[in-house]
Amino acid sequence: MSKVYFTKEITPESLIKIYNALEKKLEGKIAVKISTGEPGGNNYLKPELIKDLVSNLNGTIVECCTAYGGKRMNLEDHLQTVKEHGFTDIATVDIMDSTGDFPIPVKNGQHLKENFVGKNLENYDSILMLSHFKGHAMGGYGGALKNMSIGVASTKGKAWIHSAGTITDPKKVWDNLPPQDSFLESMAEACESVIDYMKGNIVYINVLNNLSIDCDCDFNPEAPCMKDIGIMASIDPVALDKASLDMIYQSNDPGRDHFIERVESRNGIHTILTAEKLNLGSTNYELVNLD
């Protein structure tokens, strides 16, 4: 049974504490994968929260460009956004598909046989998948699995995943979307490829704050509908996302039902269940409270 660690404290110190609790030391050159947030939104993980952990790991903040029109689709705009949001003040930032992309194999994919990721992924030995947990207009929710699939994929790769392996042109993908479950399954399949490529040298942290039903990729997200819950971490991304969702379901917050409606209307749990079928982790977990 996988262990998922939890603290209700959302501070720089508690981020370090929960990372240390995992007892899995990331080695070599470490990528810290976050969402840098679309301009206009304000729910992304703030530099002052993550700075100390990133510094302790001597990590490089990494991202890839988006597949939709906005201020992170091309490199120049994305770098400007990263600077405006304060991330360049705390660490080196690498937009991994600034040099292109490359395919990595998906061994057990139904929809994807390969996944296109930012070329600079080649430069890293391990990853801290540091995710802001929230709702999402397409995936139902966004956590570790989305950050590892859509987040590590290049612009071309994002179109590939969203189209369930039929389109690489971001200008065409939005008019040619597949059935919802095919998209969710493709995200899980993309996760498999990243885990295989990194040889499992990944740890996962979800921060459950600013709990909006909209993603940080939204330039005008709905305000958070729930109070902050805390930080969760695991070496198992399936267990982590399941435990994070369970925290929402078990909450007595009056905004809980609104958040759950977003998840269930998109069948968000299907990504987790598909990832479990691909043996990326388990929905059975032990919750370890660090408070």
Residues 6 or more apart whose CB falls under 8 angstroms from that of 83 comprise none
CATH number at residue 178: 3.40.50
Give 188's Cβ-side CA count (13 Å radius).
Answer: 26
**Domain range spanning residue 43?**
2-289
Residue 25: other Cβ atoms inside 10 A? 10
- Residue-level pLDDT, tens digit, the chain, 291 residues: 999 999 999 999 999 999 999 999 999 999 999 999 999 999 999 999 999 999 999 999 999 999 987 788 899 999 999 999 999 999 999 999 999 999 999 999 999 999 999 999 999 999 999 999 999 999 999 999 999 999 999 999 999 999 999 999 999 999 999 999 999 999 999 999 999 999 999 999 999 999 999 998 888 899 999 999 999 999 999 999 999 999 999 999 999 999 999 999 999 999 999 999 999 999 999 999 999
Give the pLDDT confidence score for residue 268 in this predicted structure. 98
Tally the residues of the chain: 291
Q: Provide the number of structural domains found in the chain.
A: 1
CB 207 within 8 A of CB 46: no
Beta strands 60-63 and 114-118: pairing type? Answer: unpaired
Give the pLDDT confidence score for residue 217 in this predicted structure. 87
